[in-house]
Amino acid sequence: MTSEFTRELFDEVMVPNYRPQQVIPVKGEGSRVWDQNCKEYIDFAGGIAVNSLGHCHPELVNALKAQADQLWHLSNVYTNEPALRLAKRLTDATFADKVFFANSGAEANEAAFKLARKYGHDHHGDSKYEIISFVQSFHGRTLFTVAVGGQPKYLDGFHPAPEGITHLPYNDLAALEAAISDRTCAVVLEPIQGEGGVRPADAAFLRGVRELCDKHNALMVFDEVQSGVGRSGHLYAYMAFGVTPDILTTAKSLGGGFPVGAMLTTSHIAESFGFGTHGSTYGGNPLACSVADKVIEIINTPEVLAGVASKHQCFRDNLNKLNEQFGLFAEVRGMGLLIGAELVPEWHGRGGDIIAKAMEHGLMCLVAGPNVLRFAPSLVIPDADINEGMARLGAALAELIGQA
C-alpha cells in the first residue's frame, strides 16, 4: 500500500521536537494496531499509558458518537450535562469534593500548582509559596510544570524558570524533613514515577510526607496523570497506599485516548480558585467528558481492577523468563500495568535500540529514560496478547544480541 503521507513528510512539515518511529499506524482495535502496509503490531505502549481500554473500544466509540450528535462545545460560560456527570462520578469514587477540567495532564498539573500557591497565599500570606518536588519527576511540558519536574534537561534553553521550587531525592523522607518549612505551600509527587523510570514510592515515605505536610500546613499533591484510572490496579494509586492527598491530577487513561484532564480537590481548598482565578476554554468539553465518564464506568469495577493485578503477574512472569534467557534486566518493577524493566549497565543507553527492533518484530513498547523499558498497555489486554507480545520481544532481543 502506498500513501502520500509518509514518514519523510513528517520531517518536511512538522516541528522537529519529536522523532517518531518510521512506520505510520493507521488502524487500531483492542491491543492490535496496523500500519500503512497492513503489518500488525501488539500494543504494549498504550499511547504512553493513555489507551486504557485499548483502541476503538466499542462502548467508548458509541459514547463519542452519541455525544457528537448532541453537543460539541460551549466553553465555560455555560456548563453541560456530560461534565457534571463525570464530575459527580469522580467525586463519588474518590476523596475529592470538587473537580476542575482541563485538556491534558500538564494543564491539570498547572492548575494544581497554581491552586497550591493561591491557597498558601490566601491562608498563610505571601511567603507561603515554595513547592517541593522530587528528582526524576515529570509533571508536564509547560514552563511551570517542567520547572516543578525534576529533570533539568527539559528546562535547558528555557530559563529563566519560575522560582521557589526545591527538588529532593525521591523516597528520601529524611531529606524532606530537613528541607520542608513554613514557607512550603505544597509537596508534589508521583506515587509511581513514570518518566523517571517506573519507580513506585515506598508506603512509609508517603505516610511520612503526609505527616510532614500536615505539620507545616503544606498541601500534598499527587500527580496521578500516569498512575491513575486503574493503571495501578486501583482506581487511583493513592488508594493502594492508604495515603490521601489534598489535590490529585488525572489525565492519560482518563479519556481512553480522547484528550481530557482533571484536577481533584476538597471543597475547602477549592475555595481559593474563586471566580475568574483560573480557566480553560476547552476544559469540560462535552465530547471529552462523555468518553471519560464511560471510561471510569467500565474501569472502576472489581472485575477490571482485579484483572489488572493478574495481568501484571503475567507480564512479570514473561519478563523473568526473558531475563533468564538473556540476562538484560537488572530489575523489573512497577505496579499494575505500569511496568519498568531496567537494563543492566552494559546495555545502558540501548533502550531506544530495543524498542526500534521490537517494532520490526511487531511489538510497540516504550522507554522511561534510555535505560528502562516501559510497558503501559490496555488494562483489558488479553493474556494471549501479552504472551504473544513477549514472544515478539524475545525475538527482537535475540536478534539484537546476535548483532552485538
Consecutive H or E run containing 29: strand 25-29
Instruction: DSSP for 342-384, please give it.
Output: EEPGGGTT-HHHHHHHHHHTTEE-EESSTTEEEE---TT--HH
Structure letter (DSSP) for residue 281: S
CA pair distance 52, 224, nearest whole angstrom: 14
Q: Which residues are catalytic?
A: 138, 223, 252
CA pair distance 109, 114, nearest whole angstrom: 8
Instruction: DSSP for 134-199, please give it.
Output: ETT----SSHHHHHHSS-GGGGTT-PSPPSSEEEE-TT-HHHHHHH--TTEEEEEE-SEESTTTSE
Cell of 288: 471529552
Is 310 exposed, middle or buried, given 0-12, 13-18 or 19+ CB atoms closer than 10 A?
exposed
Cell of 91: 467525586
Structure letter (DSSP) for residue 75: -
Both ends of the chain: CA-CA distance in Å? Answer: 33
Do the Cβ atoms of 375 and 308 come closer than 8 Å? no
CA pair distance 78, 71, nearest whole angstrom: 12
Q: What's the half-sphere exposure (Cβ side, CA atoms, 13 Å) at 173?
A: 13
Consecutive H or E run containing 85: helix 81-93
CB proximity list for 320: less than 8 A, separation 6 or greater: 332
Cell of 396: 527482537
